[in-house]
Chains A and B, each alone.
Chain A
Amino acid sequence: MAAAVSDAALAHEFPLPKILTNPASTPPTLITQGAEGRLYKTTYLLPDIACALKYRPPKPWRHPILDQRLTRHRILSEARILAKCRRDGLRVPSVYALDESAGWLMLEWIEGTPVRVNINNRLGNRTEGIEDDEELKELMRKIGMAVGKMHSIGIIHGDLTTSNMMLKPPAGDQPDNATGLEGEIVIIDLGLASGGVHDEDRAVDLYVLERAFGSTHPRAECIFNEVLEAYKKSFKQAGVALKKLEEVRMRGRKRSMLG
């Protein structure tokens, strides 16, 4: 997971969710702060089981009843989608526990680093020979297969980026060794995910990834096609979604509301 810059300092800026104020063997660490919530690294049940706690604090600017309902709905929706993915054999963090009224969700902690970090470390300051980097291309294919698997079981991610995929190193490897490209892709942050089997939705998901990839890793754009090639082979309907992607590229993520 991305190392928090000054986690001790950050951790004290926000009041902890009530559940984390109870005693634990190690203090929780604030990992990131998003628009909707915060992510802590903490422990589940026992000192040696690391977990991620996603907390959606109450939003004082919303009416309390509406706020409670939205939070509940979003926690449950994410948990249901994660559980479905896991049941259907897609690698996502598994759900440990949740309290939808208190606004938290405890998930399996995924070791490793976001794929973004691995790609950037691999690229270094190279400008040449990237299109011949077989290992990097293999990583692209793994991404394509993971996204294909997710789409094939009827899930649309809603925010596909190389930051929302972890590369979990093979067991026994040094954790946080972010230079290797070996390991398993674990898709994370399904907070914006939804169920969907429409080619249009799948194409938009791919388009978001393509655009995000292009701006995060401009020098690796030349090998992005590997993602799509692997995606194409990963499930039956993939070809249609890719055809749709061409349309989406022409018009952008949003459908035209004209006419």
Chain B
Amino acid sequence: MSLETVVLEHAPSSYKVYLALFRNVRNSGFLHQQLLARNADFEYAFIDASTIVSRVHLLSAVFKAVNNSVNGALKTPNVHSETVVSLSASNNISEAYRRFGVSPSTTDLFVVKITFPSDSSPVPVSADAISQHLKDNVEGDIVPPTNEIVSSIADVKAIRKNYKLNGLAWLDTIKDEVVKREEIEKLVLSGMALRGL
């Protein structure tokens, strides 16, 4: 089981970030249902991996959510929902859940778990416990969340639509696909940073 522990620059050391990527997920309807039912055992950011262009894209959302959590400035119930909403370029929360969150039709799924000590749970849940819980509850094939795999899953057309990146003539003229991806990533990041501002 490969649950990746991510260390983010300038995130407080009390915050731990775990990342897992599942392919061929067969029970996304069940996972979606747990979120709707606010099942406290399923405090994760479940993200449709096809909406993610690169690791940096996803990690940017995590960083934003962590920063909001540290500042006590969450706009959503918790740091996990905040991660999903941070992916959006607009301020519409339910639209963000719909676009980036898990849906019953999701087959490639990113799971982000962020832990930190709080009053109600001074000792955060361990990596092993998270790993086991995901293993028991996500029916799918876990794969390492490398940039190669992430970009092969990415639905660039949908991503461009999500961030209103269509009709940019200069972008379409870039021949080198790698450079083009990088440009798209940068535009996505600034869209997220300026969300609704």
Does any Cβ of A come within 8 Å of B149's Cβ? no
Q: B170: which of A44, A80, A89 is its contact (CB, 8 Å)?
A: A89
- Are A86 and B187 neighbours in the complex by a CB distance under 8 Å? yes
| In the complex, chain B residues whose CB is within 8 Å of the CB of A97 | 60, 63-64, 67, 189, 193
CB-contact partner of A24 in B10, B71, B73, B170, under 8 A: B10
Q: Are B60 and A22 in contact (CB under 8 A)?
A: no
Decide yes or no whether A124 CB sits under 8 A from chain B.
no
Candidate in A45, A87, A95 with the most chain B CB atoms within 10 angstroms: A45
Q: Which of A99-107, A135-143, A190-198 contacts B (4 or more CB under 8 A)?
A: A99-107
B168 interface hit (Cβ, 8 Å): yes
Chain B residues within 8 Å of A79, by CB: 190, 193-194, 197
Interface residue? B156 (CB, 8 A) = no
Judged by a CB distance under 8 angstroms, whether B12 is at the interface is yes
Give the docked Cα–Cα distance between A79 and B191 (Å). 10
A interface bracket (residues with beta carbon within 8 Å of B): 20 to 34
**Residue B11 at the chain A interface, CB threshold 8 Å:** yes
Chain B residues near A235 (CB, 8 Å)? none
User: What is the total number of residues of chain B having a CB less than 8 Å from a CB of chain A?
Assistant: 27
State the majority secondary structure of interface residues on B. Answer: helix
A250 and B59 CA atoms in complex are apart in Å by 53
| Interface presence of A60 (CB below 8 A) | no
**B193 & A98 in contact (Cβ 8 Å cutoff):** yes
Determine if A43 is an interface residue (Cβ-Cβ < 8 Å): yes
Which of B13, B59, B186 has the largest count of A CB atoms less than 10 A from its CB?
A: B186
**Interface, chain B (partner A; CB < 8 A):** 8-13, 56, 59-60, 63-64, 67, 71, 73, 165, 168-171, 186-187, 189-191, 193-194, 197
Assuming A95-B189, A96-B190, A101-B73, what are 11 further A-B pairs, CB within 8 angstroms? A23-B9, A23-B10, A46-B9, A46-B59, A79-B193, A79-B194, A80-B197, A87-B165, A89-B169, A96-B189, A97-B193
Listed A/B pairs (30) with beta-carbon separation below 8 Å:
A22-B11, A23-B11, A23-B12, A42-B9, A44-B9, A45-B8, A45-B9, A45-B59, A45-B60, A46-B8, A49-B9, A80-B197, A83-B191, A86-B190, A88-B170, A89-B168, A89-B169, A94-B189, A94-B190, A95-B189, A95-B194, A96-B190, A96-B193, A97-B63, A98-B193, A98-B194, A99-B71, A100-B197, A101-B71, A101-B73
